[in-house]
Amino acid sequence: MRLVWVILSAQARGYPSQPIRSLCRAPQCKKCKTLFEPDSGKQNGTGPRAHPPALISSFLCLGTTQRQKEKINNNNDNTGNNAVGPKLIDLGCGTGRNTIPLIRAATCDATIVGLEPSRKMLRFAAERVSRYLASAATDGAENVIGGTGVATEQQQQQQQQQQQQQQQQQQQQQQQQQQQQQLLHASQVSFYVYNLLDYDSAEGEEMPGSAIENADGVISTLVMEHVPLDKFFAAVRGMLKKGGVFLVTNMHSEMGSISQAGFVDPKTGVKIRPTSYAHTVGEMVEAAEHAGFEVVGDIKEVRVDEELAGKLGRRARKWIGVQVWYGGCFRKR
């Protein structure tokens, strides 16, 4: 019966009819690990492919404020702990689509940890981050200095020489700074196999426990819909220090009630749908508070309208009028 309902819902939304196979949970399925993100991350053209910059900024500002409070409270601490940069965890990092914006926005002394149950996705994430760091270290900004009006030919030549020297010096300084920052980032970005539902089923070697403890902040996107809320927030709570900040975005329950993330198996043509929970905003907030979190600011809910559909592309038009995702920040009490 559930299979029939899914097919009818898909047809009503304009999807072609095709065989559908349901799976238990995406984080525990090797087929999902291999194929899931390339399709589901698009969320039919509507989902948060990366955390919106405004949410990332709010998240990092909250973390900075908390660290400043800790520094004041520990002003007489001579152990040197205050000099350590923030630890930030990308829970369910997939192929690194949110890890790079986090690297870009965080301070260069931050330690960033990506967690994901799939070794293959982690390999993609590591490669993507490496490419980003390499390009960021070599791409120098070119500042064009304009002319200064009427001058003799000799004066113009002198000005051009001075401008060229200034440009070269500026570019060298910028490249050196970028290389230093990116090398520092590269030495402090790590990825580990982690399954918050069942760690024993995750692929690969064990990570050091310290890697996912005492974090200043955790981000997670499009993960909560595949996990019971109590397990989800219990895992995040165990990662954060007191006062630590958590940024989460997820598929909205309104969208989840009529659709579900999935992918087409290229070998069989069968649509694969992992178990998905249509958590409401109220359920999420209640579970978070029960786990010892408090909401910081407002929970953002996004409904697709004509303007947003125009920005997202043709695939998003069938979702006009539907709330497709929500997100917000929490602080561990």
Number of domains within the chain: 1
Please give the C-alpha separations between residue 277 and each of 131, 256, 330, in angstroms, as whole numbers. 34, 7, 20
Residue 100 maps to a domain? yes
Q: Which of 291, 308, 289 is nearest to 299 (CA)?
A: 289
Secondary element (H or E) of residue 59: helix 53-73
Looking at the domain assignment, is residue 322 inside a domain? yes
Burial class (CB in 10 A: 0-12, 13-18, 19+), 42: middle
Determine which helix (DSSP H) or strand (DSSP E) holds 136, and give its type and residue range: helix 119-138
CA distance 126 to 278: 31
Maximum CA extent, the chain = 86
Q: Residue 95: give its domain's CATH number.
A: 3.40.50.150
pLDDT for the residue 146: 31
* Number of other CB atoms surrounding residue 45 within 10 Å: 17
Name the DSSP letter for residue 145. Answer: P
Tell me which residue range forms the domain holding 208: 54-71+85-119+191-253+282-333
| pLDDT tens, residue by residue, 227-258 | 999 999 999 999 999 999 999 999 999 998 88
As a whole number, mean pLDDT of residues 288-293 equals: 97
**pLDDT (tens digit, 9 = 90+) per residue, 199-230?**
555 454 566 677 888 999 999 999 999 899 99
d(CA 209, CA 218): 16
Residue 62 lies in a domain: yes
> Is residue 139 situated within a structural domain?
no
> Which tens digits make up the pLDDT trace of 66-77?
666 665 555 555
In a domain, 169, yes or no: no
